[in-house]
Amino acid sequence: MATLPPVVAGLWRMHTWGQDVAARVRWIEQVLALGITAFDHADIYGGYGVEALFGEALAAAPGLRQRLRLVTKCGIRLVHPAQPGVAVKHYDSSAPHIRASVQRSLQALRTDHIDLLLIHRPDWLAHPDEVAEAFTRLQAAGEVLAVGVSNHTAAQFAALHRRVPLATNQIEFSPLQMQALADGTLEQAADLGLPPMVWSPLGQGRLFTADDAQAQRVRAALGTVATEHGCSLATAALAWVMRHPSRPVPITGSGRLEALAEAVAATRITLSRQAWTAVWQASMGHEVP
């Protein structure tokens, strides 16, 4: 997976969309028609079930696989019937678990390779040498084309990146959650030329529904941006996220094609420094120092 597309379709809620196989095939085709070519999974999504739902669609329309790229994550073990013997939710980035997770994902997704594999959460008991070796073996076997991490600090990313080339760090970032601006992850991504993937770029919907003071201020500031550019509030928020020089790649979280179209529209908007800072100020509740 040489480069990430500007927008990635997120599948973590697919099990709630109520689609049969034919509807899933149509949805994938419509998303591809919007220009979104990458689809973000994790083994745990939908109680270890979303990958299989997507895989059923790929099996029903085999030509789709060559037109899209599959991203998935591993490393979280839930207390679930699909995980016998797990009594406590925990992280597992051991080489055996990474390899086993990839085999399950390949089977569920009905594919012979994963385009991008991510470690879902930092595992305090994992050594970067072991993770790097597992990644390298999977890439040598052609089962995984590129590797990365999710929710890792800059130091954690650097430690693994020194051992095996990483493609991205999937992080949380939105006009309501700006920790990535202060903790060095975005600066690291820009420095390395490795665009971060961004989950919950709309604050899990809080941008539109929350009534707290921060959300109200941010909605007002984004409303000004939306009016200026003639776009929706969601498009304005996504354009704000994408304005950072690290070139963040937002992950959508909706099955509505209109929501995905709003994300694509954000790629055509560039906020001025003043407009971007006005949203930052609204979120933080104070002007820049």
Residues carrying an active site annotation: 45
Alpha helix (H) ranges present in the chain? 21-33, 45-48, 50-60, 95-109, 128-140, 154-161, 179-182, 185-192, 206-209, 213-229, 233-242, 257-266, 273-284
- Tell me the C-alpha distance between 115 and 70, whole Å: 5
Residue from 243, 246, 248 nearest 272 by CA: 243
Please give the structure tokens belonging to residue 107.
């089977």
- Tell me the C-alpha distance between 5 and 239, whole Å: 15
3-class DSSP state for residue 80?
Answer: coil
